[in-house]
Chains A and B, each alone.
Chain A
Amino acid sequence: MMMDIPYQTAFQEITWREGIMLGVGLLFIYLAIGKRWEPYVLLSVGVGIILANIPLTGLLNEPDPSQGPAYAGLLGLLRHYGIFYFTVLPQLIFLGLGAMTDFSPLIANPKGFILGAAAQLGIFCAFAGALALGYWGITDFGLKEASAIAIIGGADGPTTIYTTAKLSPGLLGITAATAYSYMAMVALIQPPIIRALTSKEERAIYMKPQLREVSKLELIVFPIFLLIMVCLLVPDAAPLIGMFAFGNLIRVSGVVERLSETAQTVFVDIITILLMLGVGSAMTADVIIKKDTLIILGLGLFAFATSTAGGVLMGKLISRFSKEPFNPVIGAAGVSAVPMAARVAHIEGQKANPRNFLLLHAMGPNVAGVVGSAVVAGVFLGMLED
């Protein structure tokens, strides 16, 4: 009996591929704790990766009626019900995000919507890039895979997870990890692109730090308009935008303080833990260790860079025709990545002109980017979902 113990451990089953993935899981945990890169995300993802890549645990077993209820493992249940089959978790997290979002900078300066739309350019560039690689025989990406990879350019984690789970579940782990990793690196990726596309004089353009005051009625009307209009125009975006608008309405209505506080804290935290454990568990060695992973990482970076460029170029265009001073740097905040992208725009503006305080101006396009990427996801799903 004692002699059998070594044969019951997972050591004999582990291969070099799982070993590498355990290293990746540990790296994510280090980045979360040591470097504080997206700790709310990367900590759970790192633990999910480790749990998913240790053999014999049974944690990844998905529910199977022929095996009985005890067969299913926790991560298998999370993945099956929360992400792949019903895709409940990414939709619910949008409710929490809506409750955490302040739309007043966008309502005060609706030009932010145009920047938020322009900063989706990277999605379409990466889409074309992924298809071109498929066409040249370098990969076997079709329209669904290309869409799932391209949506990384929206710089919005839950939108990436939702779109990939619906269109190409096999890519979920890597697209989600790529999106969150690049979101954490926005401060490294964006500044060189902003500086390459703008002159110091443009970056130094001074904008008044105050925005007009937004009334409570406007704040209440906004999510209702957003919900009705987007859901009518792009019904496939309704699961994301519907929850986002509902969460925001809870926040601004002022009559359900308890719900608002719960949605912004406990609710979103619980969903984040479950969703990120599920995402981490989708990063198994057989899915991640292959050539396509490097290509997706490259396409994701390309998508982020071109999205930033799209926002900045639109900012330059608006700056040229605007009657009031308009700093084009805030266009870079049109990629979602809330609030990191807005902070980057603010810092770049301040480096060029220490009097500048662009954070409020940049928050408008930043939250418009969330809406923009969800709309593009809805378009992709409407055209490609079975």
Chain B
Amino acid sequence: MWGDAAEQALYGIVTVFAVLILMVYLMRLSAIVIARIEQARHRPGKKGKSPPPTEHNP
């Protein structure tokens, strides 16, 4: 039983740290990518989409 218990505890500790540390890097990576996308979107001279006309447009 102790062998199984040790295996379960070790697997649990490793998994929870692995998953959450992976999330740290994934979120940092996504923050960088998203920041670049936003930067590209707001680059001066870049044509933005004009808003669609509403039904009440005069």
Contacts and interface: CB of A to CB of B under 8 A. Distances in A.
A95 B21 CA distance: 24
Interface in B1-54: 1-2, 4-5, 7-9, 11-13, 15-24, 26-28, 30-31, 34, 37-38
A211 interface: no
A116 B12 contact: no
Interface residues of B, number: 28
Contacts of B17: 114, 117
B23 to A, nearest CB: 5
A379 B5 contact: no
A229 B4 contact: no
A123 B17 CA distance: 14
B24 A375 contact: no
Interface stretch (A40-48, A213-221, A246-254): A213-221
A107 B24 CA distance: 8
Given A107-B27, A113-B23, A221-B34, A233 B15 contact: yes
A19 interface: no
Nearest to A222: B27
A229 B19 contact: yes
Contact of B20 (A135, A142, A147, A372): A372
Interface stretch (A124-132, A271-279, A336-344, A355-363): A124-132
Contacts of A86: none
Given A110-B28, A376-B16, A127 B9 contact: yes
A80 interface: no
A233 B36 CA distance: 29
Interface residues of A, number: 39
Counting chain B CB atoms within 10 Å of each CB, the highest count among A113, A226, A233 belongs to: A113
B21 A117 contact: yes
A111 B15 CA distance: 17
Interface in A206-253: 215, 217-218, 221-222, 225-226, 229-230, 233-234
A218 B36 CA distance: 12
A230 B9 contact: no
Contacts of B24: 110-111, 113-114
Secondary structure at the A interface, as helix, strand, loop or mixed, is helix
Interface string A121-148: 0011001100100010000001100110
Contact of B16 (A106, A131, A375): A375
Contacts of B8: 127, 143, 147, 379-380, 383-384
B49 to A, nearest CB: 16
A107 B30 CA distance: 10
Given A143-B1, A218-B31, A218-B34, A229 B16 contact: no
A116 B20 contact: yes
B1 A142 contact: yes
Interface in A263-281: none
* 6 smallest beta-carbon distances between A and B, as pairs: A113-B20, A110-B24, A117-B20, A379-B12, A110-B27, A117-B17
